Structures are given as C-alpha cells and as structure tokens.
Structure 1
C-alpha cells in the first residue's frame, strides 16, 4: 500500500510540475492523465483539452510562474499537493492545495483551494 501511495504522489508531482513549471501541459496530459478529467474548479471546464487550454492561458498570463511544492499527502486513490504558487517575481504568491483522484495510476479528477499570501499575518507562522 505504501508503495502505491508513493507512486501516486510521484505521478501528481510530476504531472503538475510538467504542466505548470515546465509549461508542457500537452506532455503532462499525454503521460499522466487518464481517459477523462473531471474538474471541480469553477473557473475551468472538464476534459484534457480544457486543462491544456487553461494551463496555456495561465502560463501565458504569468510567464514567470513558479510552483514550489511544500508537501504531498496520499490516501487511497487521492493525493493532496500543498504548494506555494508565485505568479511573478514581486508576488507574495498563493497558498494552494490541489487534490487529485487517480485511477490506474492516472489523474482523472481535481479539486483546489487557493488563498493569497497576505502581507501581514496575525501570527508568526507561515502558510507553508
């Protein structure tokens, strides 16, 4: 079980890195996405082609985009990826939690929660 959880985390990490950091969403889809893709982000439609178009537009709008993975948590067929997304060099960025569901080692479903990193915090803890 631990081996498959680690394999699922690796698939998600490589899928996200290839799509967003390396700006190769077509390759990410071809290598890591299953036969369908169900999207729960209300700003993005379902399907592999929609994912590719979304990533293309997002990385075009933010050519300096960088996603720094902070932690991965796997349970069953789901992987949660907590990351710091920085859209441009002077940006404090976003704290992002993406949750993926896999079937047969391929990404087939996605949820996300996104929060701006504030200038000031009510505590001394970081978001990461």
Structure 2
C-alpha cells in the first residue's frame, strides 16, 4: 500500500477549510495510488470534475479509468508529491511521477507533474495539470499517447 504523509507539507498559515480541501484531494490521490479504483468512483462519483487536460474526458470515472489503465500497464506507477500549495479553493501538487519502483527518487526518470485541483463545497470541481517528461522514454510515451482532444474544457 502506498501511503504519503501529506501532513509533512502542512503550513501554519493554512486555514482549517484549506486543510479540509487538501484532505479531499489527498484521499482521492491515495485511492488512485493504492489502485482502489472502484472505491474512488463510489466516493467521488457525484463530484462535477471538469478536466482541463485536453487528452482526458471530464468526469471522475474517466480520470479513474485512465489511471486504472495506467496501473494495469505500469503497476508500480507512483506520484511522489514534492511540494503542496493551498490557495483558497485551489490545491496544488508539484510531484515526481514514475512508472517503475526503481525510478522513484531518480529525477532523471519519469515525469515532472503539476496538478491543480479546485475544490468547492467539499467536491473536486476542476483539475488542470502540466506534465514535463524527464527522460527519453517518457518523452516518447507522451508523444505516442498525446494529441487526441477528448474535451472542450480549455486548458486555462
């Protein structure tokens, strides 16, 4: 089981409301990382979840199913948050995503990812990401899998 200690990122100036928004996102992310896909869908199905990564359709089930496919292809994939920022309704992770366990911690492998979630009334309502491949294989993978536009939500 993959467990991330998100409390290590806590800042004294964060409000209780901001910490609760972080808990929504961290529970969602932990469920994905632990391959608890059906549980994540059951818990978050009613969240509006507008996706701003144009290669992924909007909706919780779509992002979960994308991660389900990724886990079946890369069962060791892991998102390692390096920084967490909170700003009102926004929860921001700056993370290192790897697909092999032996790549964890190697900044020359995997992807540099910035995820931004907007939380409203305790629900994930929007998600943006910015992804930078760090090695040749990651660059090749993003070239092969990218390009198809699966939503019209805009990137900004």
State the distance in 2 between where 1:103 and 1:118 align: 36
In structure 1, list runs of 5 or more residues that go unmatched. Answer: 120-128
3-state secondary structure, aligned to 1:36: coil
2:24 to 1, 8, 11: 11
Q: Is the 8 A contact 2:48 2:123 kept in 1?
A: no
Q: Is the 8 A contact 1:98 1:113 kept in 2?
A: yes
Superposed, 1:78-117 pairs within 5 Å as: 78-91=90-103, 92-117=109-134
Q: Name the counterpart of 1:69.
A: 81
Q: Name the counterpart of 2:146.
A: none
Q: Name the counterpart of 2:57.
A: 45
Task: Calculate the TM-score normalised by the size of structure 1.
Answer: 0.81
Q: Is the 8 A contact 1:71 1:81 kept in 2?
A: yes
Task: Calculate the TM-score normalised by the size of structure 2.
Answer: 0.67
3-state secondary structure, aligned to 1:29: helix
3-state secondary structure, aligned to 1:57: helix
Shift of 1:10: 1.9
Shift of 1:116: 1.9
State the distance in 1 between where 2:84 and 2:45 align: 18
State the distance in 2 between where 1:109 and 1:66 align: 22
User: Higher strand share goes to which structure?
Assistant: 1
State the distance in 2 between where 1:78 and 1:33 align: 20
| CA displacement, residues 73-125 of structure 1 (integer Å, 9 cap, x when unaligned) | 11111111111111124541111110001111121211000112359xxxxxx
